Each structure stands twice: as C-alpha cells, then as structure tokens.
Amino acid sequence: MPFTLPPLPYEPDALAPHMSAETLAYHHGKHHQAYVDKTNQLIADAGLQGRSLVDVIRSAEFDPLRNNAGQLWNHSFFWQCLSPERTSPPEPLLNMITRDFGSLVALHKQLAAVAIGHFGSGWAWLVLEDGALRITSLHDGDTPIAHGGMAPLLTLDLWEHAYYIDYRNARPRYVEALLAALINWEFVALNLDGNGILRANQD
Ligand code: MN3
C-alpha cells in the first residue's frame, strides 16, 4: 500500500491566528502531500514496497529517499504536536522538565534559542535520551528515528514554508507563537512511553 497523507487532527482554521488556514492549506495540503508522493515514487523506483515508513527511513542510506521519507514522518508527527486547546505539561512530564531544565520557562527559552539559531531548513526537537530530556536540532529531513537512542517527544518545523505566509521571514515570532499558544503538551507527555515513533508511522 502506498503511504498516504494523514488528516490533520483539527480543523484547518483551528490554529488561527497563530497558524492560519492558508498556511495549513499549503503546508499540509501541498508540502506534506508532496513528500508523500515523492516518497512513494522513490520507493517504487527502488523496489522497496511493503516496508513500514520507519523501516524505510532506517534502511535508506542515501538521498533523496531518506530526506523525503523523513519529511513525511516528521510532518505527521508535527501536526500532532500542535493543539487549538491551551495545554500544559502534566505532572510526570513537568517533574522531568523541572529536573532537566529548571523550569518550563527555561525549557521554552532553550528550545526557542535552538529553533531560532538553527541555520537553514530543519527541525528542532525535544527528545528523551538515556532517561533525560534533551533539546537538539537536525537538518533538512533528518529525524531522531534515524538515530539510535533518541525518542522523539516534540518537534518544531523550521522550514520557511512553515512560517512565511503568516510571519514572512520572522522565524522568531513563529517560534514564540508556537511555544506560547499551540504546543500539545498532552501529546508530548504521551510520548514519554517511547512510542512516539509509532504515532507517525505507516505500515
Ligand atoms: Mn514543513
């Protein structure tokens, strides 16, 4: 079965004004769809049909398949990291945030600094590694699931297509808006079980 575009977990206008329906029409409907189509085409060309998306990412050593399949997975995970409801980290996660960063405000600052400082296209990540929370960023379509030991908890899309309609070139305003209003901390906490990888997988 070819991979498909997962539907958004909310209405396209639900994240406005922080992320507009127009942004989602392009970002989900055009960009994410293009990664689905390109991945399916590359898999067919390489004769790799029948593997799960995670297996494709982990076995693809070379571009363009690794980056396209990574982009398909990363976006499928990213949409679930956002919510129209204001949420806050539930207790087990909040304790870990306090332990590893000092406070939620400190985590926000560090994540914003990494996201804003990342050069070029890519993704900022909150991961669980060796039992501790850690912030990092990866380039282009790279993804923690291609690297052993990193369990993905939360990601922020840093490609210009994520913010150019709503914020033009102002990545800092986009990042601050996501952190202030849109993060689905219930989903982030769910991923502490180590199964975040499966929540954006496709068979
Ligand atoms: Mn994107």
Residue 61 clears pLDDT 80, i.e. is over it: no
Residue 176 burial (CB count, 10 A)? 17
User: Could you report the per-residue pLDDT of 78-134, keeping only the tens digit for each?
Assistant: 999 999 999 999 999 999 999 999 999 999 999 999 999 999 999 999 999 999 999
Instruction: State how far the Cα of 171 lies from the Cα of 42, in Å rounded to an integer.
Output: 31
How many whole angstroms from 192 Cα to the centroid of ligand 1?
A: 24
pTM above 0.85, yes or no: yes
Q: With both helix axes pointing from N to C terminus, report the angle between 104-117 and 91-101 in degrees, rounded to the nearest 10.
A: 70
User: Could you report the per-residue pLDDT of 149-168, keeping only the tens digit for each?
Assistant: 999 999 999 999 999 999 99
Q: What percent of the chain has pLDDT over 70?
A: 100
Question: Any residues with CB less than 8 A from the CB of 192 and at least 6 apart, and which?
Answer: 92, 93, 96, 128, 153
pLDDT at res. 60: 82
Residues making up the chain, counted from first to last: 203
pLDDT band at 145 (very low <50, low <70, confident <90, very high): very high
How many whole angstroms from 48 Cα to the centroid of ligand 1?
A: 25
Which tokens in the block code for residue 162?
């994520």
How many whole angstroms from 90 Cα to the centroid of ligand 1?
A: 27
How many whole angstroms from 21 Cα to the centroid of ligand 1?
A: 15
How many whole angstroms from 109 Cα to the centroid of ligand 1?
A: 22
Position 182, amino acid:
L
Q: In terms of DSSP bridges, do strands 132-139 and 122-129 run parallel, antiparallel, or are they unpaired? A: antiparallel
How many whole angstroms from 121 Cα to the centroid of ligand 1?
A: 9
Domain spans in the chain, listed from the N-terminal domain onward: 21-80, 91-195
> Which stretches within 118-179 are classed as H helix?
164-167, 171-177
pLDDT band at 52 (very low <50, low <70, confident <90, very high): very high
Of 110, 182, 192, 107, nearest to 153 by C-alpha is: 192
User: Could you report the per-residue pLDDT of 12-21, keeping only the tens digit for each?
Assistant: 999 999 999 9
Query: What is the CATH code of the structural domain delimited by 21-80?
Result: 1.10.287.990
pLDDT at res. 64: 94
CB 111 within 8 A of CB 158: no
Averaged pLDDT of the chain: 97
Looking at domain 91-195, which CATH architecture does it have?
3-Layer(bab) Sandwich (3.55)
How many whole angstroms from 170 Cα to the centroid of ligand 1?
A: 16
Instruction: State how far the Cα of 12 lies from the Cα of 90, in Å rounded to an integer.
Output: 26
Instruction: State how far the Cα of 74 lies from the Cα of 196, in Å rounded to an integer.
Output: 11
How many whole angstroms from 199 Cα to the centroid of ligand 1?
A: 18
pLDDT band at 148 (very low <50, low <70, confident <90, very high): confident
Same fold for the pair 21-80 and 91-195: no
How many whole angstroms from 83 Cα to the centroid of ligand 1?
A: 17
pLDDT band at 6 (very low <50, low <70, confident <90, very high): very high
Q: Match 């601050």 to its residue by tokens.
A: 176
Percentages of the chain per state (helix, strand, coil), in multiples of 5: 55, 10, 35
Instruction: State how far the Cα of 31 lies from the Cα of 40, in Å rounded to an integer.
Output: 14
How many whole angstroms from 12 Cα to the centroid of ligand 1?
A: 15
